[in-house]
Structure formats: C-alpha cells, structure tokens
Amino acid sequence: MTFYLTVSLAIAVSSIAVLGTFMLTGMNGLFSLGQAAFMGLGAYVSAICVVNYGLPLPVAILISIGITIVLAAFVGLATLKIRQDFFALVTFGFGQAVIGLLTQMVNVTGGAMGFSNIPEYTTPALAFISLAVAIVFVWGLRKSHFGRDSLAIRSNELAAKVAGINVFKHKMIIFIISAVFAAYAGALMAFHTQYVEPAMYGWITSVTWIIIVFFGGRDSLTGTVIGALVLLAMPEVLRFTAAWSTLIYCVIILLIINLRPRGLFGTWELTLRSLTRLFKPKKAVEEVK
C-alpha cells in the first residue's frame, strides 16, 4: 500500500470515531471524555478474538460491538442522569479505568507493552465503504425526529421533557450508538496498524475528536467530516510530531471558539439544494438584467 493510501485509510477510520463524537457531543451536547476508551475496547476485543482465539474477522467485530453495547449501556445508566460537569468527570474516570484495566490484564492484552502481530485485515475498500455507510447513518439520524430531539434536549432539556421526549432513553440510545461507532473504528484501526497499546485511547484522543467536531461546526455534518479530513491529514502532510499536532489543534480550536464559535461551516450542509444555491446568485443577477 502506498503511503498516501495508508494515511487516507487511517483518516477514514478515525473519521468514523469522530462521527460518534459528533452525535454524542455535537448534536446532543454530552461532553464525554471517555469516547476513546470505547475505541480501545473495540480494538482490543476484536484483536484478541482473532489473534488469541482464531475467530474470523466479522465474528470478532460483532463480539466487540456486542460487548461495547453492554458496557455502554451500563456506563450510560450510571452517568447520563448526572449533570453536565460531573458527566465529563465521570466519563474521564471511565476512560482512565478502562486504560487501567487494559494495562493491568497483561496476560490477555500484553499490558503497557501493547498487543501486536495483528493481521492486516482492513482493506481500503472496507475502510472507505464503512465511512460512507457511517455518514449515511448519521445523516438519516439527523433528518429524522432524532436529530430534532437531540437539538431540543441540547437547547432546553426541561422543555423537551414536557413536550413528551423521553430524554433519558434518547441519551442512552445516542450514547450506545456513539460507543459502537468508536468501537467499530477501533477494530478497523487495529487491523490496519497491526499494533495497539492502552495509551492510544486516553482522554487526549477523546478531546481531539471533540476539537475536530467543534472545528467544523457541531451543527454541520459536512463540516465535521471535512474538518476531520483536514485536521487528521494535517500532521501527516506537515510532518508534525504528536505533541506538536495536538498543540496546533488546541490553538486552532481556541481561535475558532473565540472568533467563530459556530465552527467553520456553521450550519451549512452539503445538499443538492445548498449546492444550487451556491450557483444561484449569478442566475438572479442575470435575470434582473
């Protein structure tokens, strides 16, 4: 695989995880610092299934998604009724707990030394098609009442409740779906990089995804996807170290929030209508003449 293909693949897979954060933090305003832990879960469980137990890839992925759903349900039950500040703290704690466990279970996971020799099962086709499907899923979700309810809950939870929305159930569903997105991305990534270690799934990764979402604009799916492609490609193209690229992400998002809080794309979405509108002004001028 050429360098560019490898990088594009990694970016595509990471974007799937970012979409999870888009739904959770962007659409619903749930500030979770532990999303990356679900990616780690997906990565480790599927890798262990294939390497240690010789299971085929689809089965391994299904198992990791299943476990993620169960764990996300538990965590959601425990944390989604808590106020926002504490939710951030608790999800942070959850992330640390998962990393702690992964590091501790040396016999199964290889501990801090990481888990290697994972076969390279993720093809470019699998990665890109997965991303496309993920985008379609999120698009469908936003167009439906789920999208509206998310915005309602984010804006004024009390009013949403008296309008009949079951806020807790909604949050649980979103939390689980986002976790599944992250876990699936984790699995794909594991079978691409062929090596995973607990440190990859810490809060810094979770926050990086949040930064990407707010960079593009939490109200724009197009913005988040394009933002993900741009921001994730940047360190590769400009050859930055991890520390420097993280630092630059921080500076970028501070600029965005201070100067253009709605994100680069605001609420703009790439649809047939918005594309024609881009070309319309010229038409109107001609008609006036």
Partner 1 sequence: MENSVVIEIKNLTKIFGGLCAVSDFSGNLCENQIIGIIGPNGAGKTTIMNMVSGIIQPTSGSVVFKGQDISRLEPEKINHQGIARTFQNIRLFQDMTVLQTVMTAYSWRAPYNVLETLLSLPRVGKFEKEIREKSMCWIEKVGLTEQANLTAQSLPYGMQRRVEIARALASEPCVLLLDEPGAGLNQSEVCDLVDLIQGLHEELSLAIMLIDHRMDVIMRLCKWIYVQDFGKGIAQGTPEQIQKDPVVIKAYLGEEITNA
Partner 2 sequence: MQSAMIFQQVINGLSLGAVYALIAVGFAMIFNVLKFSNFAHGGVLGISAYAGFIAATTFKLPLVGVILVGILAGAITAVIVEFVAFRWIRLQKGQLIYFFVTSVTMLMLLEQILIISFGASFESFPYTLLKVKAIKLSNLTISVTSLLTLVVTIIAFGILIYVLKKTKVGIAIRAASNDLVATSLMGINVDFVVISAFVISGMLGGLSGVLYGISASLSPQIGEIVVKGFIASVLGGLGSLTGVAIAAVALGLVEVFLISTIGSGLSPVVIFVIMIVFLLVRPQGFAGVSFADKA
Stretch that binds partner 2, among 89-97, 140-148, 169-177, 269-277 (CB under 8 A): 89-97
Residue 180 CA to residue 129 CA, distance in Å, equals 17
How many other C-beta atoms lie within 10 A of the C-beta of residue 117? 9
Alpha carbon distance, N-terminus to C-terminus of the chain:
55
Stretch 249-278 residues interacting with partner 1 (CB under 8 A) = 267
92 binds, among partner 2, partner 1, none (CB under 5 to 8 A by kind): partner 2
CA distance 28 to 174: 8
Is 212 an interacting residue with respect to partner 2 (CB under 8 A)?
A: no
- Segment lying near partner 1 (by CB under 8 A), choices 102-110, 123-131, 141-149, 271-279: 141-149
d(CA 131, CA 17): 10
Q: Which of the ranges 175-183, 189-197, 203-211, 266-274 carries the binding residues for partner 2, by CB under 8 A?
A: 203-211
Site string for partner 1, 117-136 (x = CB under 8 A): -------------------x
Tokens representing residue 134 in the block: 């993920």
Shortest CA distance to 32 belongs to which of 80, 103, 104?
80
Q: Which is nearer to partner 2, 133 or 251 (CB)?
A: 251
CA–CA gap between residue 224 and residue 212 (Å, rounded): 7
For residue 81, state whether it binds partner 1 (rule: CB under 8 A).
no
Size of the site for partner 2 (CB under 8 A): 41
Give the long-range contacts of residues 71-74, CB within 8 A, separation 24 or more: 71/38, 71/41, 71/179, 72/38, 72/175, 72/176, 72/179, 72/180, 73/172, 73/176
From candidates 54, 117, 125, 164, binder to partner 1 by CB under 8 A: 164
For the window 191-230, what string marks contact with partner 1 as x by the rule CB under 8 A?
----------------------------x-----------
Binding status of residue 181 toward partner 1 by CB under 8 A: no
Interaction pattern, residues 42-81, with partner 2; x per rule: CB under 8 A: ------------------------------------xx-x
Burial of 58: CB neighbours in 10 Å, binned 0-12, 13-18, 19+: exposed
Q: Which of 145, 260, 277, 280 binds partner 1 (CB under 8 A)?
A: 145
Q: Name 196's bridge partners.
A: 115
Residues that bind partner 1 (CB under 8 A): 136-137, 139-141, 143-146, 148-149, 151-152, 155-156, 158-167, 173, 177, 219, 267
